[in-house]
Structure 1
Amino acid sequence: MEIDFEKCGGLVPAIIQDAQTKNVLMMGYMNPEAYQKTLETGKVTFWSRSRQCLWTKGETSGNFLWLVNIKVDCDKDTLLVTARPEGPTCHTGTDTCWGEKNELAPLLFLSELQDFIEKRHREMPEGSYTTSLFKKGVNRMAQKVGEEALETVIEATNGSDEKMVYEAADMLYHLVVLLTSKGLRIEDIARELATRHDPNWDKRRRLAKSKETETDKNKK
C-alpha cells in the first residue's frame, strides 16, 4: 500500500473506526514507524506530536485498539484504520473522543447476522440448526418462515408484546436463512423498500403495469 507521508511533513492523519459498529472513535497521526509497528504488533500505534515519540493506544490504560484493517484514501495521505477497541477509547473515559456512545445500531445487526448465516452456509458445520435448515432445502425453509409469521400474528392479536417480538425475531431469522439460500441479502429487501419510499414509485409502477397490459393486448 502506497502512503504519501512526505506530503504533510512525515505524518498522515489516521482515522480510527470501530470494525463492528462503524463508529469513528478517534483521530491520531502516524509516521512510517508508527504504521509499521501497528502492522507488526496488531495494536494501533501513533506518533505523538507533543512528546515526539511513538505511543501505542492503551499502553498505560490497557484500552488497546486491535487492528483489523488499514485503508488509504484516494490522495494517499489519510488512513482509515478499522479496529476493535478494548474498553473506552478516549483518555477521559468515554467510548469516543467526541464523547459519544460506541454502540452497534440495532438494524446493522441484521447484516451481521446474515454474514454469520452465510458462513454457516459455506461451512455447513455438523450439529448446527442453521445447517439442518440448509440441508432440508428451500421448501422447508419457506415453511418455517410461514410458521413463524403465523405465530407472530397470533401473539400480535392474542398475546403479549414481548412474545410478539420474540416470534418476530424467529421469523426474521428464518427469512434471512431463506434469503441466503437464494443468494439474496437482507439489504436487497431494504433497497426495495427504499425504492417504494419514493413518492413517484406507485405512479411509475402503475404506468409500467399499464404498458405491460397494452403490450399483451397487442400480442393477441
Structure 2
Amino acid sequence: MNAIERLAETIAARKGADPDSSWTAKLFAKGPEKCAEKFGEEAVEAIIEAVKGDRAHLITEAADVIYHLLVMLAARDVSLAEVMDELARREGTSGISEKAARKA
C-alpha cells in the first residue's frame, strides 16, 4: 500500500469522527460543498507556486491538493479505488481520443 492509499484509508476512517478531534472530520462536518471549496483553494495555491517556479512550495501545495482531493471524493462517497479504476480504463488511450469519446 502506498502513501496515497494509506491517506485515503485514514480520511475514510475520520468520516464519522468528532470534528473537534480531527481537521478531516471538521471538513466532513461542514459538508461536501466546503470540501470541494477547500480543494479548489488548494489547487489555486498549487497553480500559483507552479507559475512562480518555487519548487519546494509547489511540492507542499501539491500534497495539500492530493489530501483535499481525497477528502472531497470521500465526502461524496467516491473511493480512491474507483478513481484508480477509471485511470486504468483510460490507460493506453490517447488523451485526444478519450476527450472526444466523452463528448459523444
With normalisation by structure 2, the TM-score equals 0.84
- CA distance, structure 1, for counterparts of residue 8 and residue 40 of structure 2: 19
Provide structure 2 residue ranges, at least 5 long, that are not aligned to the other structure: none
Answer yes or no: is 1:170 the counterpart of 2:64. yes
Answer yes or no: is 1:183 the counterpart of 2:41. no
SS in 1 for 2:49: helix
- CA distance, structure 2, for counterparts of residue 164 and residue 141 of structure 1: 21
State which of 106, 114, 117 in structure 1 corresponds to 2:8.
Answer: 114
Q: What is the total number of aligned residue pairs between the two structures?
A: 102
With normalisation by structure 1, the TM-score equals 0.42
Larger radius of gyration: 1
Which structure is higher in RCO with an 8 Å CA cutoff and minimum separation 6?
2
Report the alpha carbon displacement of residue 207 of structure 1 after superposing the two structures with TM: 9.1
- The C-alpha deviation readout for 1:151-175, integer Å capped at 9, x for no partner, is 0000001141111010010111011
Answer yes or no: is 1:149 the counterpart of 2:31. no
Q: Which residue of 2 aligns with 1:197?
A: 91
Q: Which residue of 2 aligns with 1:87?
A: none
Provide structure 1 residue ranges, at least 5 long, that are not aligned to the other structure: 1-20, 22-107, 210-220
SS in 2 for 1:199: coil
Report the alpha carbon displacement of residue 176 of structure 1 after superposing the two structures with TM: 0.5
CA gap of 1:199–1:138, structure 2 versus 1, over 3 A, is closer
- The C-alpha deviation readout for 1:112-158, integer Å capped at 9, x for no partner, is 11111111113335231111101111111111101000000000011
Higher strand share: 1
- The C-alpha deviation readout for 1:166-188, integer Å capped at 9, x for no partner, is 00101110111111111111222
Q: Which residue of 2 aligns with 1:127?
A: 21
CA gap of 1:207–1:168, structure 2 versus 1, over 3 A, is closer
Q: Which residue of 2 aligns with 1:89?
A: none
SS in 2 for 1:121: coil
- RMSD of aligned alpha carbons: 2.3
The sequence identity of aligned pairs, in percent, is 33
CA gap of 1:208–1:115, structure 2 versus 1, over 3 A, is same
Report the alpha carbon displacement of residue 198 of structure 1 after superposing the two structures with TM: 3.0
- CA distance, structure 2, for counterparts of residue 138 and residue 207 of structure 1: 25
Which stretches of structure 1, 4 residues or more, deviate above 2 A after TM superposition? 122-127, 198-203, 205-208
The residue type paired with residue 154 of structure 1 is: I
- CA distance, structure 2, for counterparts of residue 128 and residue 112 of structure 1: 16
